[in-house]
Amino acid sequence: MADEYTGLLCIGDPHLASRVPGFRKDDYPRAILDKLTWALNYAEEHRLLPAILGDLFHWPRDNANWLLVELLRLFQGTILGITGNHDCKENELGSDDSLSILRASGRLSLLDCSEPWRGIIGGRTVIVGGTAWGQPLPTSFDASDIAADSLVIWLTHHDVRFPGYPGFSRFDPHGIPGVDVIVNGHIHRPLDDVVMGTTIWINPGNIARIRRDDADRCRQPSVLRINIRTDGWDKQTVDVPCLPYEEVFHKEVVSPDIPVNESIFVRGLAELESLRTHEGAGLKAFLDQNLDRFDKRVATEIRALAEEVYNDPNRRF
């Protein structure tokens, strides 16, 4: 029951897939399902309302039926969520996207500006709203019809310019009158909170490690727990059990036959020769590093051919 909740559990970007993305070498679908199961069990044990911060799926379509059946069995009770960029084939969620199955079945309540969740958590009125990827955030929230001590929490999936994440950011955190807390998905690593006016922006990171890089090497997958009381609220990071980085990612291949000072081009060819992945991660990395060697028109054609191959779900690179 909603009035029995003690808080909110925010689950960042699971990136579920029945094919293995990137340079992962483990049983990725089962590993992420296990993390999501752990998070939902933790929420039930501690009477927390679970909320998924977008990108439930890594690919919007071509997800195996067994994976969808597992999710239909797993998602019981109220689970909130928003749509992330990986959940959509087009600019917004479509009827052919896998996430639509969970919404249509009633297993996942997708939030938007016009239909926030309302209930009692920790003895006080709580509003949980959400803005899907690519959609504008509200400029304000009208809280005139709710109690003065209510808490308004908003879920987002956006490129926000948090400290330490300037690269692809589209806008700065800003105050939104009527919104107390904004919890952002999309950015996979935890970042420092930002307070703007009466609004606090939180970026907790996610539960899935997708990239083979130093950031994921040092990062512990986690969820965000927001504890709510009549006299306030607090937050805490809860680590999600996972295997060591070295057990889930392929090592970068360095052939002993290639001198250490050899070109990135030659070293990249060596990795392509020795490593094959479902998603073509090695090929993608190789092209990213080397396409600037070619005429722009030639590079565009190579990229288009590669994209055609990437989109074949049955091909293994």
Within a domain: 306: yes
Residues in the chain: 317
Cβ(302)–Cβ(284) under 8 Å? no
Task: Please give the pLDDT value at position 317.
Answer: 47
Task: Please give the pLDDT value at position 1.
Answer: 44
Tell me: do 200 and 58 sit in the same domain.
yes
Tell me: do 72 and 45 sit in the same domain.
yes
Final residue of a structural domain among 239, 262, 290: 239
Cβ(57)–Cβ(98) under 8 Å? yes
Number of domains present in the structure of the chain? 2
275: containing domain: 252-310
Tell me: do 223 and 271 sit in the same domain.
no
For residues 228 and 125, what is the distance between their CA atoms, to the nearest angstrom?
10
Tell me: do 232 and 258 sit in the same domain.
no
Task: Please give the pLDDT value at position 4.
Answer: 86
Q: What is the CATH number of the domain that holds 218?
A: 3.60.21.10
Query: 157-167: b or e for each residue (b if 16 or more CB lie within 10 Å)?
Result: bbbbbbeeeee
pTM of the model as a whole: 0.81
Residues facing 232 on adjacent strands = 229
Q: Where are the beta strands (DSSP E) in 174-241?
A: 181-184, 191-196, 199-203, 222-229, 232-239
CA diameter of the chain: 71
Final residue of a structural domain among 209, 239, 269: 239
Within a domain: 317: no
- The per-residue pLDDT for range 161-217, each reduced to its tens digit, is 999 887 677 899 999 999 999 999 999 999 999 999 999 999 999 999 988 876 778
Task: Please give the pLDDT value at position 32.
Answer: 97
Tell me: do 155 and 296 sit in the same domain.
no
- The per-residue pLDDT for range 92-115, each reduced to its tens digit, is 999 999 999 999 999 999 998 778
Task: Please give the pLDDT value at position 269.
Answer: 47
Within a domain: 257: yes
Within a domain: 195: yes
Final residue of a structural domain among 213, 239, 265: 239
Task: Please give the pLDDT value at position 281.
Answer: 55
pLDDT under 70: residue ranges of the chain? 1-3, 167, 214, 253-295, 298-299, 301-317
